[in-house]
Amino acid sequence: MAAISREEVAHLARLSRLAVTEEELDRFAGQLDVILQSVARVGEVAAEDIPPTSHSVPLTNVYRDDVPQPSLTQDAALSGAPDAYEGRFRVPRILDEED
Amino acid sequence: MSDLTKLSAAALSGMIAKREVSAVEVATAHLDRITAVEERVHAFLHVDREGALAAAKKVDDGEITGPLAGVPIAVKDVVTTKGIPTTAASKILEGWKPPYDATIVERLKAAGMPILGKTNMDEFAMGSSTEYSAYGPTNNPWDLGRIPGGSGGGSAAALAAYEAPLAIGTDTGGSIRQPGAVTGTVGAKPTYGGTSRYGLIAFSSSLDTPGPCARTVEDTALLHAVIAGHDPRDSTSIAQPVPDVVAAARRGLQGDLTGVKLGIVKEFAGDGSEPGVVAAFKESLEALVKLGAEVVEVSCPHFQYALPAYYLIAPSECSSNLARFDGVRYGLRAGDDGQHSLEEVMSLTREAGFGPEVKRRIIIGTYALSSGYYDAYYGQAQKVRTLITRDFEAAFEKVDVLVSPTTPFVAFPFGSRTSDPYQMYLADLFTIPTNLYGGPAISVPCGLSEGLPVGFQIMAPTLADDRMYRVAGALESAVGTFTPPAL
């Protein structure tokens, strides 16, 4: 596996919505390289014909009758919000100036 | 120290039921102990004195009865508690009060168990030392300069410091068993799906399992019985009866293991375990043979790939689960000054709110799931999971349980492994295979090395949690329990 570069870490951080610092970029690049080289061993064993296991319990859809039930009140759902307005979550602007 | 804090949960519940002591007195004794030692131990992130005393009073008033009614408990801070701050030891959730209880918390309350408070942990349960808590580490009561294990170091330390007789932990790669081992306490990871994950702040959904922590095997089983069982709110919850773990533990404590086959894993030998850990494990194995058990060597050739597979699967699932912390619906919001877009506010919030281990794992997970690498990393890791499951199934055709040390080393000094994350990951070498397979496993104290506790791990087939408790009880009957030096 190719070594992970500082630029690659910066790209992954952007994809992850993490505004990492310059110092973190340097540190993570070295550490992630060691970790990824150590975990690359998983490629040694599993052959084509081995089915993957995503969950130790077989997953099935769980249904209930479509009957309205009590849920969180609007106040409770908004109780931990950093900002709320007229019963809704208030968010910063989504579009940039030029959009 | 009040004698009440030294008693087992089983003894306390008997005294409370007979009205020899009130539940309020028991809760008060533990709250006072917390006040006396917390400055040195730092096992708790939040103590709910009023709530605990109110719950205890309900038991004294006769409103609730049951096997553990009135016995206080500490809950790991990754489990939501209605109206009580729940942070997962992260700055991103500082001060958050959940509007609902986790299913296991509902069950503790229904059983009349006063909740003393929320215990410290590695941030979002990622770590093996509780050094990654955003609120400072917990100190091991055996040696305050050493780690109490992770991620459930707070829960384990609270037990070892006699601040609580029982605690709740969660185990994704060993976070109940490994802290149990290094603090001389008992910790069990139930069968995945045997305990509800509803209300857990998710780290790696296909692995996370809440479970009981205590100072004795019987207490662990009693708590296991309270929290286990089907929950329709968790789609991975298993709709089958819970085996009678309490009866199994008590049977084991009678000290007879005639006809029980213990498997030792050939591939676990020569893994770099400390000599003192190996010696304590071997002595305990001999003690179990004296009780009638037979030891059989088995081969699990793919266990050597468990650690790499885990460190691809867990970060991948964490990178997805932690996407919900975006500064919109709850928790921290940073950079919302009118100058930044929503996307920038999300990035600034996550940068300010997450600590180093969480960021590392989010980035690894994003890498492992990204186009071009998915098949080589995540896809391969899921195949390894199949191979490990087959190893377990083949082994359990020959033996009743598998046994190993819980950790390769005793509690290490603070700071000694944080600079090299992969060295830290080795702490979970023996515990991780079970999480990938889904079966139950328990850590029981089995001796000391350099004056520090060593854990003995017992792994059982899926849904055979009772079998592991029987062997655990027998081990405790043979080697006893271990008491840390006075704080």
Query: Which of B:29-68 have CB within 8 Å of A?
Result: none
Cβ separation B336–A82 shorter than 8 A: yes
Give the active site residues of B: 76, 151, 175
Q: Is the pTM of this model over 0.90?
A: yes
What is the pLDDT tens value at each position of chain B, 487 positions in all?
469 999 999 999 999 999 999 999 999 999 999 999 999 999 999 999 999 999 999 999 999 999 999 999 999 999 999 999 999 999 999 999 999 999 999 999 999 999 999 999 999 999 999 999 999 999 999 999 999 999 999 999 999 999 999 999 999 999 999 999 999 999 999 999 999 999 999 999 999 999 999 999 999 999 999 999 999 999 999 999 999 999 999 999 999 999 999 999 999 987 789 999 999 999 999 999 999 999 999 999 999 999 999 999 999 999 999 999 999 999 999 999 989 999 999 999 999 999 999 999 999 999 999 988 898 899 999 999 999 999 999 999 999 999 999 999 999 999 999 888 888 888 999 999 999 999 999 999 999 999 999 999 999 999 999 999 999 999 999 999 999 999 9
* A–B interface: beta-carbon pairs under 8 A: 183
Neighbours of B38 (CB within 10 A): 16
Question: In Å, how far is B162's CA from the nearest CA of chain A?
Answer: 33
Distance from C-alpha of B85 to C-alpha of B45, rounded to nearest angstrom: 9
| Alpha-carbon separation of residue B117 from A49, B122, B164, B252 (angstroms) | 49, 17, 10, 32
The maximal CA–CA distance of chain B, rounded, in angstroms, is: 72
- B122/B135 Cα distance (integer angstroms): 9
Which contiguous run of DSSP H or E holds residue B296?
strand B294-298
Residues B4, B21: contact at Cβ < 8 Å?
yes
B356 Cβ under 8 Å from any chain A Cβ: yes
Say which CATH class A1-45 falls into. mainly alpha
Tokens for B253, please give them: 């404590």
Q: Say if the ipTM goes beyond 0.85.
A: yes
Cα distance between residue A27 and residue B159, in whole Å: 36
Binary contact (A12, B367; C-beta < 8 A):
yes
